[in-house]
Each structure stands twice: as structure tokens, then as C-alpha cells.
Copies of this chain bind each other. A is one copy, B any other.
């Protein structure tokens, strides 16, 4: 039996031990009947706690790979007659409703696969920097919560949310100028759930939704799955082109306006104050509810804060959506919808069907982050760290990719939006980038109506500064390679003349 522990690895020792033993049992190196060393002895040999070995053995026992015999110690088990996994003789395809047949975007699937490779530097995610996750704070908070209120936090929670959290969210928004009370707040299992509930509550197949073009790709998926059609409104450096919306709204009569006015995903742009007012005027005049998706406004690195549409709203036509996923971490699955009471009541009826309620323990922790100043402290830290990463990305782009990419400098958020030059397409770049060990999100997935082939979205918060530098270098090489090949191959096809 060979066992080596990597003391620099982030994989816990018990996992390292279990994995190596599992491998050796499966390969036959440790055949059935082999007696493993007693826990105490193995622990001494490896210089770890006995509980570490106990945990490793327990994991293997749970998988049926080893068995403990009184008096005989721990033995490698006989392989169980491997159960033939159950196939199905049912022609399932005929049973599914249309909503489930919406295909996953194959381009995004490829992106995810590349992005997950350990040798790849990924600019493709929408995740905050994991090394800043306040793990120890969460640990202390959950310990406190279970100590003080364990029983009630492990119970069902009201569908609308943990009451103190609803109040804390309302209070937070009031401090930012909105006139909200707890009754305007519905806690949801991540803001994706908020989007889904809103789409289900407000859209029927064929309804039109006005969206920025480009916009958040997850919203496009939800709206498409419901059968909605899009009214795409272009975006410039001041956000949604509200005058275009105004021109089109009479003819197309959208049922909803979906917008990310602040540090927009994917473009990073912010809707100007004047356009905010005008957008609200249009919504009120034509009675079209606005969904304001606002996960990024707390991540502002420079410039003055602009008021949210929610806080400018005098008519109760804005429904606001936010989350802790981008400012703390995504794992809690806690977001919130804020809006007029009739909306909150209907959404809550719907949420009761969808998942009854949201994890109360996670809600308690978010409440503590909000009311004890811990969230503000954490955001302060991110507002120090993220601009450094953004600037490192900007200077790397300047150094390596100025001839092949154009970009804007975002004042906040997670993303840099880039445009390939010379008619290169992001979907062609993806495999080349994968070969060079770098991943990004192809911009076309963010467009409601096709188009956008030349854009890519780069996240600058997930990789660390050195990875950013190296990743942009790789990306630039990939683009240069693509360009060289393309111009080598396609030179004669640049202009195709009609064959008359």
C-alpha cells in the first residue's frame, strides 16, 4: 500500500487518503481480503490525526469498498455483483412538454466544458473571487445561528422569507432611497428563481419582452422557455438606447421591460440618469412593468452612484431583483424580489408551488451580514481588490491585444466587453483559445436575436491578477493564430461576386 499526502494541496487529508485507497482497490493493487492497517497505526505512519483516517475509512466503507470485521480489522471487500443499472423501455421523448425541449445552448456548453479544465484560465464565469469568500465569518455565523435558534431555523420558513431578513432588505433599500417595507420583499432561492417566478407570473407564450441587446443570457433562456418573443433594444456607452424603445413601443407593445441598468451584464455600461427618468416615463405612460435586475450596483469602483429605477419610481411600476451571489458568494442561494404588494403576493403563491420556502439558515446568515455591517465591510474589501484586477486586464489587453480587440473600461461589476476586429468570430476563437488554455463567454449567447458574433465577455474577478495577465497573453496568441489561419485560408473569399 502506497500513500503520499500533499501538504500544500487544498484537498483535505482524509479525501487524499480515501482517493488513493479507492484507486488502488479499483485497480486490483489491493485485492479483496487485503487487511488495511489499523486506523491508529496508519495515522501515526502518515503523521495525521486518527480522526482523519477514520473519516477516510468511513467514506470507503459507505461506498462498499472496505468492511470492518470485529477481531479481523478492516478488510478490502469482495466486489459487489455490480447491479445492472436500470435502463428504460419507455419512449420518454413523447412524454415531455415543450418547455423541457428548449435546447441548452451548445456554444455555452462547450464554453463550460473548456472553462472547467484545470489547465485553463477562465474568464468565462460570473463568479466572484473565491479567495475572498468570507468562509470564517460564515462559519462563525452559522455556529451562532444554530446555537441560538437551531430548532426554528431547521424548520419550514414562511414562503415570503425569514421575517427579519425581509425587514433588513427593506431597510437597506430605504437607505438607498426606495420607499419599501418588508411587505414589498419576497426572498427567493437565488435571483434566478425571482426571474423565473416573474416570467411565469407575467408572460404567456407569444408575449413580447423588451430587453437590452445584448443582455443577461440566463434571462434570455427563461423568457425563451416560456415562449416569449423579444424586442431587442441596442445598448451604447450610456446603457439602453431608450429613444429606440420609445420609437418601437407603440408598434410592438411589450408586456415587460427587462433591464440591468447598472454595470450591465455583459457590457458593463450604466444607464444615465436622464435615460433612467425617460425609461420610467415610457413605462408609466404605456403601463409596461419594468424588471430592474441589479446584482452589480454594490460593486462600484469609481464615479458617483446613480439611483436605482426602484428608488426613482413614483408609480409602483418597477419590480426589483437582487442577490448576494455576486457580492458575497453564490452558494447560499438567496436573492430577493422587491415590488408592489399585489406582485409579491402572486409570486409568493407561485413560490409555494415551486419550492415551498428558502433555506432559513442561509437567510439568517444573510440577515446577519446585512444588519451587522458585515456585508458593507466585505464589499469595501472587494472594491479595493476588483479594480486592481480590472486594471491588470486592461493593461494586459493594451500590451498584447490592442491590434485585435477593442473594449470599454467599466466603472463597476464583473465584466469587460470586447470586440474582435477584422470580422473574426468568437465562436471560431473558442476552440483556438481552448488549445491555448484560456476560456471566455462568446458574446452571441447574450444577444436576443442572433448577431454579436464578434463580441466576447471577459470576467475579471474570478482569476487572480497573475492569471489575468497570463490569460490575456494566451487569448491574444489565440486570436493572432486564428487571424493568421483565417487570412491564410480565406483570402480569396473576402468578396464574393455574383455569378452572372
Residues of A within 8 A of B (CB): 10, 12, 14-15, 58-59, 62-64, 83-93, 95-97, 99-102, 104, 127, 130-131, 133, 135-136, 138-139, 142-143, 146-157, 167-168, 171, 174, 178-181, 183-184, 189-190, 192-193, 196, 200-204, 218, 221-222, 225, 255, 287, 289, 313, 315-317, 329-333, 340-343, 346-347, 349-350, 352-362, 370-372
Q: Which residues of B contact A371 (CB under 8 A)?
A: 58-59, 62
Question: Are B184 and A316 in contact, with the CB atoms below 8 A?
Answer: no
Q: List 15 A-B contacts (CB under 8 A).
A: A63-B171, A85-B184, A88-B316, A91-B287, A97-B200, A100-B347, A100-B349, A130-B151, A136-B150, A153-B331, A154-B332, A192-B353, A192-B355, A221-B353, A332-B361
| Given pairs A92-B342, A139-B143, A331-B361, 11 additional interface contacts (CB within 8 A) | A15-B148, A85-B181, A86-B313, A96-B201, A97-B201, A100-B350, A127-B155, A136-B146, A142-B143, A153-B331, A193-B354
Question: Are B190 and A356 in contact, with the CB atoms below 8 A?
Answer: yes
How far, in angstroms, from A171 to B82 measured CA to CA in the complex? 12
Q: Which residues of B contact A203 (CB under 8 A)?
A: 97
Residue of B nearest to A174 (CB): B83
Question: Are A315 and B90 in contact, with the CB atoms below 8 A?
Answer: yes
How far, in angstroms, from A202 to B90 measured CA to CA in the complex? 14
Partner of A333, one of B179, B329, B358: B358
Which of A90, A96, A201 has the largest number of chain B CB atoms within 10 A?
A: A90
Partner of A189, one of B127, B148, B355: B355
How many whole Å from A355's CB to the nearest CB in chain B?
4
Q: Which residues of B contact A316 (CB under 8 A)?
A: 86-90
How far, in angstroms, from A190 to B146 measured CA to CA in the complex? 20
Question: Are B315 and A89 in contact, with the CB atoms below 8 A?
Answer: yes
Residue of B nearest to A342 (CB): B92
How many whole Å from A353's CB to the nearest CB in chain B?
5
Q: Contacts A143-B139, A178-B86; is A333 near B355 (CB within 8 Å)?
A: yes
Question: Are A179 and B100 in contact, with the CB atoms below 8 A?
Answer: no
Q: Which residues of B contact A171 (CB under 8 A)?
A: 62-64
How many whole Å from A15's CB to the nearest CB in chain B?
8
Question: Are A131 and B151 in contact, with the CB atoms below 8 A?
Answer: yes
Question: Are A135 and B154 in contact, with the CB atoms below 8 A?
Answer: yes
Q: Contacts A87-B340, A135-B151; is A331 near B360 (CB within 8 Å)?
A: yes
